[in-house]
Structure 1
Amino acid sequence: MAPTLVLLLLSQVALYTTVTSKKVCGRPSVTDGIDELALKRVYEVGEEVGLTCEQGYLPSTATPRRMTCTATGAWTQSDLTCSPKMCPIPKPLQPLAKGRTEAPFKSVLNFTCDDGYVMQGANESRCLHDGTWSNQPPLCKAVNCPIPRPPRDGKIVHDRQVTGTNTIFGQGWTYECNSPKAPSYERGSCKADGSVPEPPVCQEVSCPIPARIPNGFITFAVMRPHGYKEKVKYACNEHYVLDGEAEIQCKNTGNWSSQPVCRAPCTVGIKRGRIFYNARKLWIADLKPNRVLHGEHVAFYCLNKADRCGYPVASTCNDGILPLPECFEEPGKVVYTLKPKTLPSEIAMCTASPPASPTSPARSA
């Protein structure tokens, strides 16, 4: 019996070796978009697989591509690629798409509305397999508010005409009281949560005697306390420039609106040299009187030593201060008197000015 048992065992080993030595192919590796639902886990040598694209993808070739399981257990190569179909981004949304005009299959657009607006429609849309969107972009409709109540002893003046019983988010209005009273606050609007403010209280308001301003005066006004919305007007002394609103008004807080300021003129702080002012090239001695008004520009001439050419650098009068450019060098008496044609203002001008230089310490009027 022993020899028979050995022979049987050897036969089983030989059979196992014969079966397992035969090569097979596993499920082929495919790229995104290729349909994998019909693929098996194991294939015999010589079997073929026809590759197609999933729904929502476009094949790179019009004819089907096949792969074959080879005797080595490897698959032949396929050049099929599947590209996702594209959905055109709606034109109203393109400014938010950073230059893109299309989105690929399976993309999702999420929609939100700004505060004060209510969404009408779906809050998302998906790019479908046929290149269309599952939902149209929604509309964002402004929140409605009730018509505001006017103050007692007063009225409301809407910024634009209101019809019906509602206003919409963002619309505003002004509260007015019967003279001489003033509202505790003047403006109201339809809020993002659909509410409107309670009406203000109408109360007596008085502003103190308006203050004088340096180098200026009040025109045609009686120096007394003033009521709500009363106005006074300021002007400046000669050669001073008014900076701000000339007219101020008594506000509902009992304070005046911001007063203007009278800005001082400047003196051009050089004794020798030429300047460019009021569209004219002037020797400083010819600037009579030596006065530049606030906000006016004066150009000084500097020397480009490397190229031996001149170039202008502008400075601006600011409330009595006219800075001199750092590049400006005031000529000495001898050069200014005997060799004026050698000054930066008189020689050839540079074709390109050097970068603007800082200014030197300012000189005041």
Structure 2
Amino acid sequence: MFYSFHFYCIYHLLNMKSSLTLLCLVVWVNVDASSAQTEIEGACINPTVMNGFIVQSNERNVHPRNSKIHYSCNVGFKPSTGGWWGEATCTEGTWSGISECIAQGVQCDPPPKVENAIVEIPYQNTYIDGFEVNYECRKSFEIEGLKKLTCENGSWTTPPPTCKQYCGKPEGAGETFLILDQVLERYENGNQIDYKCISPYTGPRGNTTCKNGEWHMPIECKASCPDPPRITNGDFTMENRDVEDVITEVSYQCSRQYTLSFTGSIRCQNGKWPRPPKCLRPCEISTFDAEYNLQNLAKKENIAHGEKKTLHCKEGYYHEYKQIGWNIKKIEVKCDDGAIQYGEHIPICSHRYS
């Protein structure tokens, strides 16, 4: 007689959360050399294990008398005798010690469905004891109740949560209208708020109700226009008014010698006026008389913004900038909001060299 051992590894579910742990069994087998023949008196044939499998096999499916086998159970089952595997002995052609593989705890039906909730779990007909499921609500829905359910003794531990739709704070709150009730970030379906418009917005006091995530009956606060903006050295002239006698459109004009930066009217929109035009300043030409050797002007002269003026050098003087063969006696300048513009060359006239 001699002895040998077999080394077997099986996968088995240990923590009930779909993670697999590798178990390895060392099985000692005693073999009687005198019985190693095709026909063995009192031998046993490989048994069938319901919901399980044999972890020691024999190529001929025949086990000699008094030999032992070990078996394990499928995921979710365990031997009725306890432990992670069972043992059976061949006695006079029959196996003693074979027990059935029973369900490991009472299993649960699929978890309940929750409207507007997202659950990421593999679908199965049954779920083992200890299995957990987590619910998450879709966007614009708020969860009520516990998010996590656990399978215990054939039932889920708590009732499933619900996903309730909500409304956010109404757009424009605090800017165009004032909420007269408690201000919240979220309002449940059916919640109602009272409001009143804030100046310069006008409208009757009212209320609105949260329905299916939206505010029912839109809040109507119309923008009322303030007085038109004033401008320096000018004022608005033509004006249009609405049915409530509020000015909604104006045109401008400037004082004498000043020039509008743009023409046309401006219109009030959503309670706000756009930027009005400017009155651009004229330019005084006589400031060049003494120091730049320009011909004296008959009188102090002003030119409006955007206008041009030709200046002349005094007799015997020429502009410092000379083109070949020419002595320049005229200089052109332009007025830009009160400042004389003359390009690249300062309008200075110099005495003619002999």
Decide: shared fold, TM above 0.5. Answer: no
Higher-Rg member (1/2): 2
Instruction: Point out the structure with the larger strand share.
Output: 2
Question: TM-score when scaled to structure 1?
Answer: 0.31
The structure whose residues are more often helix, as a share, is: 1
